Structure 1
Amino acid sequence: MNVDIGLCTVSSKERAVEAVIELAAEAGYDGVELWGRDHVGDGSVDDCRRIVDAVDANGLGIPVYGSYLRCGTDEFDDRVEHELAIAGRLDADLIRVWAGRQEYEDHDAEHWNRVVCDLERLTDRAAAYGVGVTVEKHAGTLTDTLEGARRLIEAVDDEHCGLNYQPGFSVPKDEIEREATELAPRSNNLHLQAVRECGESRRCPLSEAFYDLETVLAPFLDAGFDGSANVEFVTDERPYPAAIEADRRYVASILQADSHERAHTR
């Protein structure tokens, strides 16, 4: 089982992408998920080459291009090839996308069908670029609930399209654990960030999360998850380099403990 630990460059919006890449390498990360706004911008050939050179020079990989391509919207057709070309230039494993603009409990059938159709077309086209698709589990989209996320990935039914799961800040601990159990087999990417109390907004170290990260990660490891666990945002209570290093070390300690336990139960 091979789970890499990545850092989302969106965790430091104010820094140049090359600076975040260098800090990620210094902190011991395996790769970087590239923020598809200021850090990648329009994704020109020259800009992508510059980013890839920086990643290679620091011994990292690019598990995900974090695009803002939104299925089920009027702009999807205008942007899909452009965004896939960027993912291809970056040699990213996955492109992160969004599932429409309606939440699951309030969606209509037309919007659902449009999102599914766009995701199917996107996944098929992404194969030409050697890229898989990961769909963000997020408020304001069809994946905001466990049922919506599960149903959407099942509707697309393609091994190259999975869920980008992340524990929600306003989701109770027990529900997060239930989500992780049901959605792990349908996920191909992880975002990790934390707050100390359910419903808060100020981020804290992962080791102080209101949910138990070890319990959340367990079903992913049991399901043979081989994607990247990416630290998305970190606390501002300590300097950024120290914050990203502490979170990486904590995630690594869980993965190492799991690996050790599995080795002794064979």
Structure 2
Amino acid sequence: MKNCGLVPGLVSVSFRQLPAEEIVRLCAECGLEAVEWGGDIHVPHGDCATAEKVSGLTEAAGLRTAAYGSYYRCGVSAPEEFARVVACARVLQAPLIRVWAGDKGSMECAPQQRLAVAADLKRCVELAGESGIRVGMEFHCGTLTDSLDSCLELLDGCPGLCSGWQPSVGREPELCREEIRRLDGRLSTVHAFQWRQAERLPFADGIPVWRSYLETLAGQGRPLDILMEFVRNDSPEQLRADAPVLRRLLEGLGD
């Protein structure tokens, strides 16, 4: 693949119904190079024995762990839970832990709760940093990253914190590209999927818009994992069709 710095991969929770062994085989078959392992099904928080097994499977298949996708909600989850998250991330050799910025959107969150989320984010960044691991926020509705300005405020208040990105369903592509541009240098990963409102579509249906997103990302000149998610019908066959589309788009960058 042309060295554009963008690497194709998969979010494991796209296939909660499959064991880790099958996800590894599927990624290798589809030419994907990295996996974000989920902390709810495939590598539960604190289950270091499973983390060790999954890490071995990943490495043996010539893949790497892109991130540990935790379901820790800053300012909401029990603080001691994050130590269990970090323990699994270390065993997985994950360079990044994904967390959630609370459980309320920026317009519904009371000021004191926002302060609690921000303080816990700082604590998590420091704790993970002791193991050389970064922390990145899920870019998602129903949390304090539901708007770009709210996300940037959290990033500005916490050195070392980064954020994922994914296109908000229904948001105009130009606004999505502006989000990418303004998050430059503070992106952790990108979750790639194609939706029309609540309907999941084949990734090929989004070729023009995803080409524009990937060109914007490649233009920033930073390495980044582009992780497929929300596969239509949770179907491995659909991933077998979608993954080559993502790979061709990445290979065509700069042409």
TM-score, normalised to structure 1, is 0.88
Opposite residue 223 of structure 2, the aligned amino acid is D
1:108-138 alpha-carbon deviations (Å, 9 max, x no partner): 3212222121111111111222211110011
Report whether the alignment pairs 1:219 with 2:223: no
CA gap 1:39/1:223 in 2 versus in 1, 3 angstroms: same
Contact 1:192 1:231 in 2 (8 A): yes
Partner of 1:189: 189
Opposite residue 166 of structure 2, the aligned amino acid is Q
Contact 2:164 2:190 in 1 (8 A): yes
Other structure's SS at 1:250 match: helix
Q: Which has the higher helix share?
A: 1
TM-score, normalised to structure 2, is 0.92
**CA distance in structure 2 between the aligned counterparts of 1:142 and 1:248, rounded to whole angstroms:** 31
Which of 237, 240, 243 does residue 242 from structure 1 map onto? 237
**Superposed, which structure 2 residues align to 1:1-266 within 5 Å?**
1-73=4-76, 75-158=77-160, 161-195=161-195, 197=196, 200-209=197-206, 212-236=209-233, 240-258=235-253, 260-261=254-255
**CA distance in structure 2 between the aligned counterparts of 1:42 and 1:148, rounded to whole angstroms:** 28
Shift of 1:186: 2.3
CA gap 1:70/1:257 in 2 versus in 1, 3 angstroms: same
**CA distance in structure 2 between the aligned counterparts of 1:201 and 1:43, rounded to whole angstroms:** 33
The CA RMSD measured in Å over matched residues stands at 1.8
Shift of 1:248: 2.1
**CA distance in structure 2 between the aligned counterparts of 1:28 and 1:105, rounded to whole angstroms:** 41
Shift of 1:247: 2.3
Which 5+ residue runs of structure 2 have no aligned equivalent?
none
Contact 1:184 1:219 in 2 (8 A): no
Contact 1:71 1:115 in 2 (8 A): yes
Higher relative contact order (CA 8 A, sep 6+): 2
**CA distance in structure 2 between the aligned counterparts of 1:87 and 1:105, rounded to whole angstroms:** 32
**CA distance in structure 1 between the aligned counterparts of 2:235 and 2:212, rounded to whole angstroms:** 26
Other structure's SS at 2:107 match: helix
Other structure's SS at 2:231 match: coil
Contact 1:70 1:100 in 2 (8 A): yes
Other structure's SS at 2:80 match: helix
Instruction: Count how many residue pairs are aligned between Structure 1 and Structure 2.
Output: 252
